[in-house]
Amino acid sequence: MNSDSGPKPHTEALRQMAVGVIETEATAVSALIERIDENFMNACEAMLACKGRVVVIGVGKSGHIGSKIAATLASTGTPAFFVHPAEASHGDLGMIQKEDVVLALSNSGETDEVNTILPPLKRIGVTLIALTGNPSSSLARHSDVHIDVSVEKEACPLGLAPTSSTTAALVMGDALAVSLLESRGFTREDFARSHPAGQLGKRLLLHIRDVMHSGDSIPAVTETATISETIVEMTRKRLGMSAILDSNGNVTGVFTDGDLRRTMDDGIDLHKSSITRVMTHGGKTIEPGALAIEAVQMMQEFRIQGLLVVEESGELVGALNFQDLLNAGVV
């Protein structure tokens, strides 16, 4: 098919429309700075004092934004979950307790499904925080704290599709979550504990004992072994190195692929020479309780590909190489 046939898209018009959307939404977000006022502080104080959970509610696009806000709160130290107002009217209201704080999102502030459950929420006795674009709305008037997230106009040229308004609500939700994070003293380690499958979680939670090879998988020979016997052990265990142990089982050195290459260059008899002649005495070791990321840092600093894992007593308990850390997602 001839790519030149048919009308070409109006690329400049498309570009201008996209720029206009971004500019409109950027203006809406910038306007929120003036809304970080006493109402915002009261909302933060209410959520900090909450002995239960923050329950986020919303319908339609506000519901999608609310679900994301709940997830952000939960992952940054503020226990939270999302409940759809329509489901709340059919039994899920039982998930909300007096000790909870309800964060309700509605741009108009007149969403039927949200306003229908306001009386039962009041009877429960929860603190109600509202994010609306209409300070005079029913939701705003019945809330304990109202945060104004109104926008001058939607980015949609028809003024119909929620665009600037949902962006503003999302950004205000992020502002609440991050402000609470700071107030709670939430740390990188806390974040990692709620994201154990993510790279940050693995970097901060995985220990050497979680990724090392142990038992019969540890490449090791005694000081009486020959170079060739050590090479056989290295080949069998496939870690590119072997520990060298004394008669008490303590590590006295290590023999690596690099040592092997240097040995081959020197023309040493591999079958007759003792491994102690060519091994690296001592070698770099790490304790099993250290974080896996510490092993990465050591390997990078000393330009090595593996580490022996040794208890403080000197006992060899494991071994690992850079590939193990890659496979574990630490790197």
| pLDDT tens-digit map of 103-157 | 999 999 999 999 999 999 999 999 999 999 999 999 999 999 999 999 999 988 8
End-to-end Cα distance, the chain: 46
Give yes or no for residue 248 having a pLDDT over 50: yes
H or E, element range at 316? strand 316-321
pLDDT score recorded for residue 166: 95
Residues 6+ apart with CB under 8 A from 232: none
Q: pLDDT at residue 331 above 90?
A: no
pLDDT at 204 over 70: no
Q: In the prediction, which pLDDT does 99 show?
A: 95
Q: What is the pTM of this model?
A: 0.63
Per-residue CA distances from 300 to 84, 135, 202 (Å): 50, 57, 18
For helices 257-266 and 227-237, what crossing angle results, to 10°? 150
Structural domains present in the chain: 11-186 (3.40.50.10490), 208-327 (3.10.580.10)
Residue 268 has pLDDT above 60, yes or no: yes
What proportion of the chain, given as a percentage, has pLDDT over 70? 91
- Identify which of 168, 167, 172, 195 has the alpha carbon closest to the alpha carbon of residue 77: 195
C-alpha pair distances (Å), 85 with each of 48, 72, 135, 145, 287: 24, 20, 21, 19, 52
